[in-house]
A and B are shown apart, each in its own frame.
Chain A
């Protein structure tokens, strides 16, 4: 005790009359610690920004080519006689291919590139099976016979990649798909303007294609699949989640049972998504016999996943409404339900909406549970033609489609996968922007 007072006294004494202009050791140490901490913070942010930029750059670099395609546009005029003649042959598509090559050659001559000699084999390698495409068109539109028709035929994915710089002549030495000489033709076609790079609407609106045709693959059908799943999630998870939260937050008695429910909801939010996938497989498909690969089932599984997120955020926003608002409503004789629905819920709405949209965005990007319930449907032909078929017909979803493409051998599909990621990210950014917009618009006003 005497020691303590003895040591305290000399410490306290020198403080008096000391200049505040010169820093003492203690202050210097504190300031250094503060500066150090700020540096750590800036380093952390720098690392974050670096990865964000690197990620964005690599996504854009790898994904953007998926949105364009190289195509050859040929002016075509097929007479009735040529059509009949071709249809009477045994190798019908080969006949059409001959017409195409002649038309292409004619066009090249016109453009002043007549020195290039195109032949059927090279055209086959550069543009794939042109004949069948032309035949299909004329069989479906016989009224176009004898008229000027402009055909746009996509070049093969290798030509695409050659023009993007992803493929060099040396890579082709042993390729049976494309020969180095073909590239000379390609160069001349590009020079003469017959072959050009254009925005590929097929990628946005199209359906998945066969493994040998990456150029025809589109993400459109899986966007529709994702849309129907989100529709199911919204219709189920929002009312169930909000009702559960309102009951738990405003009405439920505080006891062991409600505590247990609360703990379980928090735990459910942390359950890995693949667990929900296998649960959905067991319950919805094996037990309830709902159709496999259907967006309905995907939506149900994602509903289970999204519910905890919605419940937690809804309860948080209900909690943040000041109790004085409830007291005021009860004080003028509102029932508890009136107090909640007339006063608390409108104030909590922006938080609930934000939470719901974030939950939906999470569900939109979820892949693992979809693989387990077979949501990697191959929808190559058509779009669903209504609500029922949209919900029940096999379809894919954006992340599952990306996964499917990434797993395919052809490097062109790898490019498509990156492109799909860009589309998915655009949707996610849009949803997050909507969440921010709603939060700003209905900002708390008390």
Chain B
């Protein structure tokens, strides 16, 4: 991990800033210790991938970053998670404001059973981002363009979002997430329900999104992690085993467990 910092300064031009700093994070589901002492620094404007076998805690950790775990009564989070040097588990933090700043895209496309327009406009509406209808129209168009789905849906914004194909639905969900102008975008296996063509469309999109956002993506596909991410974290049994430049993780892993996983011996 500390090597990673050095590598970064060597490999990258310019100074990347730390967007999310997690220190000694523990997560418990009742008696189960799901995340064990995870510390990780996530940088702004690049894609960080979380990989690891099922049940290793990567999704759980991701959900800590926008406090979605709050909705699970038995879940308890300890440790520090700072976004822009603010503790997100501070008592004064309203999770609603946090989630406006840290958007999320889920594993299964979950558009609201409303029109495409309303799907995207909902977030900006409840956060008061638009003063009038034409501003809202602009926001919706911008978000759909950034979600790389504008051309496909611009003629049928009144059609239900649930009527789109799976890949389109997922891009709609991404558009919905970026419509609220978040700074971090969390993606929980966004392509697991998609076919290869839709997957590559979403991956291209992720690559573009990193220009504006810090993107954190959980994925089961190591190829995907290799394709889209600049940094990769490998989780195993609730531990963060290794966190480094993606290239390094896949070519020269430091930990034997990482090596076993990426070569397909565990997982």
Contacts and interface: CB of A to CB of B under 8 A. Distances in A.
A binds B: yes
A333 interface: yes
Contacts of A342: 122, 126
A347 B105 CA distance: 21
B160 A333 contact: no
B112 A331 contact: no
Contacts of B71: 326-327, 330
B99 A333 contact: yes
B112 A333 contact: no
B104 A331 contact: yes
A338 B100 CA distance: 14
B110 A332 contact: no
Contact of B110 (A328, A338, A445): A328
A235 interface: no
A431 interface: no
Task: Pick from A322, A333, A342, A347 the residue with the most CB of B within 10 Å.
Answer: A333
Nearest to A332: B123
A92 interface: no
B162 A331 contact: no
A325 interface: yes
A331 B96 contact: no
B113 A446 contact: yes
Interface in B143-179: 160, 162, 173, 176-177, 179
B106 A328 contact: yes
Nearest to A444: B113
Interface string A322-353: 10111111111111001000110001000000
A332 B68 CA distance: 11
B103 A332 contact: yes
A253 interface: yes
Contacts of A322: 110
Interface in A229-267: 253-254
A333 B97 contact: yes
B162 to A, nearest CB: 5
Contacts of A444: 113
A334 B127 CA distance: 8
Given A253-B73, A325-B112, A327-B68, A332 B162 contact: no
Using C-beta atoms within 8 Å of the partner chain, give the interface range for chain A. Answer: 20 to 34
Contact of A331 (B73, B106, B113): B106
Interface string A346-381: 010000000000000000000000000000000000
B110 A333 contact: no
Nearest to B120: A332
B110 A324 contact: yes
Nearest to B118: A342
B162 A325 contact: no
Nearest to B98: A333
B160 A331 contact: no
A446 B162 contact: yes
Given A333-B123, A347-B113, A328 B173 contact: yes
Contacts of B177: 331-332
B229 interface: no
Contacts of B103: 331-333
Interface in A58-90: none
A324 to B, nearest CB: 4
Contacts of B190: none
B106 A338 contact: no
B108 interface: yes
Contacts of A347: 113
Contacts of A331: 66, 68, 99, 103-106, 177
B160 A325 contact: no
B100 A333 contact: yes
Task: Pick from B99, B160, B179 the residue with the most CB of A within 10 Å.
Answer: B99
Task: Pick from B73, B112, B173 the residue with the most CB of A within 10 Å.
Answer: B112
B112 A343 contact: yes
A108 B108 CA distance: 85
Nearest to B119: A328
Interface in B43-82: 66, 68, 71, 73
Interface in A11-65: none
B246 interface: no
Contacts of A333: 96-97, 99-100, 103, 123, 126-127, 180
Interface string A276-317: 000000000000000000000000000000000000000000
Nearest to B127: A333
Contacts of A445: 113, 160, 162
Interface in B163-211: 173, 176-177, 179-180
14 contacts: A322-B110, A324-B106, A324-B108, A325-B112, A328-B111, A328-B112, A330-B68, A331-B66, A332-B123, A332-B126, A332-B180, A334-B122, A338-B126, A446-B113
Given A329-B112, A332-B126, A333-B100, 17 more contacts: A253-B73, A324-B108, A324-B110, A327-B68, A328-B111, A328-B112, A330-B99, A331-B99, A331-B104, A332-B99, A332-B100, A333-B99, A333-B127, A334-B122, A342-B122, A342-B126, A445-B113
Interface of A: 253-254, 322, 324-335, 338, 342-343, 347, 444-446
- In the A-B complex, the 4 residue pairs with the smallest Cβ-Cβ separation, listed nearest first, are A333-B100, A332-B123, A324-B110, A331-B104
